[in-house]
Amino acid sequence: MRYYIIAGERSGDLHGSNLIRSLRAQDPKAIVRAFGGDQMKLAGADLAVHYDQLAFMGFITLIANYGTIRRMLRFCKEDILSFKPDVVILIDYGGFNRRIAKFTKPRKIKTYYYIPPKVWAWYQSRAKELKANVDKMFVILPFEKAFYKQYDWDVDYVGNPVLDAIKAFHPDPQFAAKHKLTGDKPIIALLPGSRKMELNRIVPVVAEVARKHPGLQFAVAAVDGVNPALYEPLRTIPGVQFVYGDTYNLLRLARAAIVTSGTATLETGLLRVPQVCIYKAGWLEMKIGKAVVRVKHISLINLIANKEVIRELIQEDASATAISKELDRLVSDRSYREQIIHEYDAILKLLDTGSASENAAKLMVGYLRQPA
């Protein structure tokens, strides 16, 4: 069968690559064309467009790049019609992919959504739109199944691909030596994010925290391809180490972590590292966000647990003083640490339903093989 897969950013590329491998295991004759990245290409996809032409974040950035997005949408629609897929599989990247779903459904092109946009967090009415335009939905958070049930839609919960990645992780015994993480000081992992706007706002704050704690060893989970100047406030601090492309090995050694809100909070939790979640947005983005957000928490850890497992420090609350206070507790308060790790283990049990990509691929191929 012919599969057209669309992922608009780094995480979608990773999850898309795993899905492609699982689809090929179920359908050895699979032909895959994709909007994706290097990982999806390595998995065997013929790339129509690389995601680095699509990875825009934030209301203001999206507006500034509206022309580019329109051109890519037009090209994508034409490419789908030319490729004649048996199914279009959308991965996250809601703003773009919802528009593709509106295009494919009326043309009777089967449309599946794997890792749908977080409409339960904002614009919940978009669940109706998704139901109208998507044939099958494959969700990765347990509470999403119940959320869509409110709209009389029985979606498939397939497990979480982050847990798949954690299970596949093999620690490097030489990692500490390679990065001069000697263990004479507690190691604090800094996960400031991967996007320019995130780094501009977060790096100066965590740099101030690092300066306040000369008795701790700070190491940055840095991202290849990012302008090195964005990390400059941390580079000027003696002893701060930079780890590129090896976040899991860093977290394995960390006593605690300071993490920008996103998938990284779940990764950190599943690797059992006590953490504080921080987030800073632009004034306008935050004002719009407050008007539309419908959830009590921003970190995936707290959202899945449906309670506060880790502290969330947002906007002005994400000050160096407040972060430092929470960090001291994470490092030194044994009972607090044990409580957090106990909650992490409960989340792991909840998510552990086997491989998300394998579960999704089996269901997708099974649905496609059903008589029309």
pLDDT one-digit tens code per residue, 357-370: 999 999 999 999 99
Residue 171 one-letter amino acid = P
According to DSSP, the β-strands at 311-314 and 31-36 are unpaired
Q: By the 8 A CB rule, do 95 and 19 touch?
A: no
Of the chain, the percentage scoring pLDDT greater than 90 comes to: 73
Q: By the 8 A CB rule, do 259 and 276 touch?
A: yes
CA distances from 364 to 79, 140, 166, 300 (A): 22, 15, 24, 26
Mean pLDDT rounded to a whole number for the chain: 90
- Give strand ranges (E) for 204-288: 217-222, 241-244, 256-260, 275-279
- Measured between its terminal Cα atoms, the distance across the chain in Å is 15
**255 has pLDDT over 70:** yes
Based on the number of CB atoms within 10 Å of its own CB, is 313 exposed (0-12), middle (13-18) or buried (19 or more)? buried
For residues 106-117, give the mean pLDDT: 95
What's the angle, vertex CA 300, arms to CA 111 and CA 222, rounded to 5? 95
Q: Could you tell me the two tokens for 189?
A: 């992992």
- The reported pLDDT for the residue numbered 294 is 52
Coil/strand/helix, residue 144: helix
**230 has pLDDT over 80:** yes
For residues 79-90, give the mean pLDDT: 97
For residues 100-111, give the mean pLDDT: 95
- The reported pLDDT for the residue numbered 289 is 47
For residues 212-222, give the mean pLDDT: 96
Distance between CA 284 and CA 159 in Å, rounded?
35
Confidence of residue 123 (pLDDT cuts 50, 70, 90): low
- Tell me which of 184 and 64 has the higher pLDDT: 184
Q: Look up tokens 């501009």; give the residue.
A: 200
Q: By the 8 A CB rule, do 355 and 164 touch?
A: yes
Of the chain, the percentage scoring pLDDT greater than 70 comes to: 91
Confidence of residue 287 (pLDDT cuts 50, 70, 90): very low
Confidence of residue 125 (pLDDT cuts 50, 70, 90): confident
- CATH 3.40.50.2000 maps onto the chain at 2-159+353-369, 168-351
Residue 102 one-letter amino acid = K
Q: Look up tokens 């507790």; give the residue.
A: 329
For residues 76-90, give the mean pLDDT: 97
Confidence of residue 345 (pLDDT cuts 50, 70, 90): very high
Confidence of residue 69 (pLDDT cuts 50, 70, 90): confident
**140 has pLDDT over 70:** yes
- The reported pLDDT for the residue numbered 62 is 44
**192 has pLDDT over 90:** yes
- Supply the CATH classification number for the domain 2-159+353-369: 3.40.50.2000
Give 3-state DSSP helix, strand, coil % of the chain, rounded to 5: 50, 15, 30
- The reported pLDDT for the residue numbered 226 is 85
- The reported pLDDT for the residue numbered 198 is 87
**276 has pLDDT over 60:** yes
Name the fold adopted by 168-351.
Answer: Rossmann fold (3.40.50)
For residues 26-30, give the mean pLDDT: 97
Q: Could you tell me the two tokens for 342?
A: 């106990």
- The reported pLDDT for the residue numbered 118 is 84
Residue 344 one-letter amino acid = Y
Confidence of residue 56 (pLDDT cuts 50, 70, 90): very low
**293 has pLDDT over 80:** no
**139 has pLDDT over 90:** yes
Distance between CA 140 and CA 363 in Å, rounded?
14
Distance between CA 24 and CA 89 in Å, rounded?
14
Distance between CA 246 and CA 22 in Å, rounded?
24
